[in-house]
Structures are given as C-alpha cells and as structure tokens.
Amino acid sequence: MTTQALPLPAIADIFDAAARIAPHAHATPVLTSHALDAEAGASLHFKAEQLQRIGAFKFRGACNAVFSLDAAQAARGVVTHSSGNHGAALSLAAKLRGIPCHVVVPDGAVAAKLAAIEHYGAILHRCAPTIAAREASCAQVQADTGGSIVHPYTDPRVIAGQGTAALELLTAQPDLDALVVPLGGGGLAAGTALAMRALAPQCRLFLAEPIGAADGARSFARGALDLDMVPDTVCDGLRGTLGAINFDLLRAADAQVLTVDDARTIAAMRLLWTRTKQLVEPSSAIALAAVLAHPGHFAGRRVGIVLSGGNVDLDALPTLLARAA
C-alpha cells in the first residue's frame, strides 16, 4: 500500500484520538491477578484489549482513521489489506460511520476470519498470497473507488489510535516502572511509546517478539531496519514486518526487544486462561511470556502489560495447546 503523506504522530494526536473514538470504543478494564503476580515476582497490570470491540486493540486505530476522514474522503470509503483483526476493525469502524470498506485478502486466508470481516459489512477482494499481488490489488481498488488506504500499522492515525490503550492504562496506573507490548508491525508498540514518553517518562518500554519473526530484534541490534525473514510462529498477529516510522518512534523511546519462543508463549497463554479466565490469543500472551522469561527486568517492579486481543481460532486449539508440551 502507498505510504501515507501524513506527519509523524505525536502525543496530541493520541489525545485527539481518545476523544474521537470515545463514542465507539470500549474503555477496557485493567485486570490484576495475585496468582500471576506471584508467578512473575512483580506487580502486573493487564490492559484487557481482548474485551475491546472486535476482540482486539486494532479497533482503536481503525476507528481513529475512519473518523479522521473529512466528509468527502469518507464518502469514497476506506481500503486496506488484512486477513486478520485490522480487516475486521476497519470493517466495523466503516460500518459505524456508514461508509464503504474494501478489504484485500489473500487466497488461503482462514475462512472464519474472512467471515468476521464480512460480518461487519466490508467488501472482500481476493488476490494471490504474495506481497506483489496484494499491493497491486490494493492500488487497483483505490484507483477504482477513490477510497482512502488505511495501512494496518504505518498509518499515523492508526498509531495514534493504538496509543489510546496505553493512555488509558497510564491514566489508571501512572507509576508503572515498565510497559510490555507485543511487537509485530509496530502500530501498538509505537502508539504505546508515544503515550509513555509523554505520560510516564520514568517507564521502560519492552517489546515482546516471537523468535520466529524477530525482524524487530535484528533491526534494533543493527540500528537499521532488517526485515528479511520468513515468519515461523504461532503468533499470527505478529508475522508482519516492522514499519519504518514505527521503528523510528520505538528507537526514540529507547525501547528494548525481548524475544520469546512459541513454547513459552503458549505456556503463558495457558497460565492466563487458567488464572484470569480470559481467552487471550498467543500474540497477546507473548507479553506475559517475555516477563516470565526475563525476570531480571521486572522483579519487584510495577509492570503494565497490554493484552492485545482474544481472537483465538478454536478449531486450531488442539494443535496450538500441544506446542507448549
């Protein structure tokens, strides 16, 4: 998708986003668990975005982008590619504004996810499962409709929207020592970084990334984007590559990547299910897994963790749960 010619987001954009999405998004609760605190040797504060609309934080960014459009832009609708939560989020946001939404999806995407996207009213456009086909298809749909492209994580409006989760968390718990969020494309991570620098500069930002999709860790180690990878992880929300402006915002916040293997992520997911009765997905549980795997950073500290979503494919559960053994 064409990069948006929009300025870098700043903290004021997160405040604007919070006001813009307030009529539509849930202010999710912050959950605690004595059992998990004991497990981690730290005081954990979980921002429960599995309870957000569409079951993931992605609704925040999509909603902010859709409601940022002026009337003329809005009338032409929005366009994106995503076979996951961003597609569902943009579809619902567009429905709430009453405008068209076009989602380019690759052949072979999980049927249940496509059904969720269509459920909210988006028009699906199928393409071959390659980046070239996806870009071409997006460009074609944009040319045909004049719609606005909303990239899943490099769009500044999306980043500002995702930052509202950390804004709410830090408003409820201003004295956190550390924040831990999953790292995929970096939309949530960059939004969190912006909110944290403004509201809790004492806080350290940690990014939990799957070992099987560690372009972020390699990019930080090298000091420049290093995106060459073939993702191999159960964290289906974290297989994208880090965006350029996301990387810049994360470096400015002195963020640190912690890589986690899938077995630890699934074990952390089981722990969250058992102890909190919250159905979170692997791409969320990786943040707790990072805390448990790297106690040196967190012991005795007050730690905020963004549980990013709860869209688990129940039919794939048996295979998934077996990964922790």
**Residues contributing to the site for its own copies (CB under 8 A):** 50-51, 55, 270, 273-274, 277-280, 310, 312, 314-315, 317-318, 321
**CB of 270 vs its own copies, minimal distance in Å:** 6
**CB of 32 vs its own copies, minimal distance in Å:** 12
Query: How far, CA to CA in Å, does 267 sit from each of 262, 275, 293, 305?
Result: 8, 12, 11, 17
Nearer to its own copies, 255 or 320 (CB): 320
Nearer to its own copies, 114 or 253 (CB): 114
**CB of 275 vs its own copies, minimal distance in Å:** 9
Tell which residue, 212, 272, 312, has the closest CA to residue 36.
Answer: 272
Nearer to its own copies, 195 or 271 (CB): 271
Report CA dihedral (43, 49, 50, 51) to the nearest 10 degrees.
Answer: 110
Distance CA 164, CA 21 (A): 9
**Residue 177, both tokens:** 């020592």
The answer to whether the CB of 184 falls within 8 A of the CB of 153 is yes
**CB of 95 vs its own copies, minimal distance in Å:** 13
Tell which residue, 208, 213, 202, has the closest CA to residue 240.
Answer: 213
Distance CA 255, CA 245 (A): 14
**CB of 274 vs its own copies, minimal distance in Å:** 7
**CB of 85 vs its own copies, minimal distance in Å:** 13
Nearer to its own copies, 118 or 135 (CB): 118
Nearer to its own copies, 50 or 233 (CB): 50
**Residue 307, both tokens:** 């549980």
Distance CA 117, CA 301 (A): 39
Nearer to its own copies, 38 or 252 (CB): 38
The answer to whether the CB of 139 falls within 8 A of the CB of 80 is no
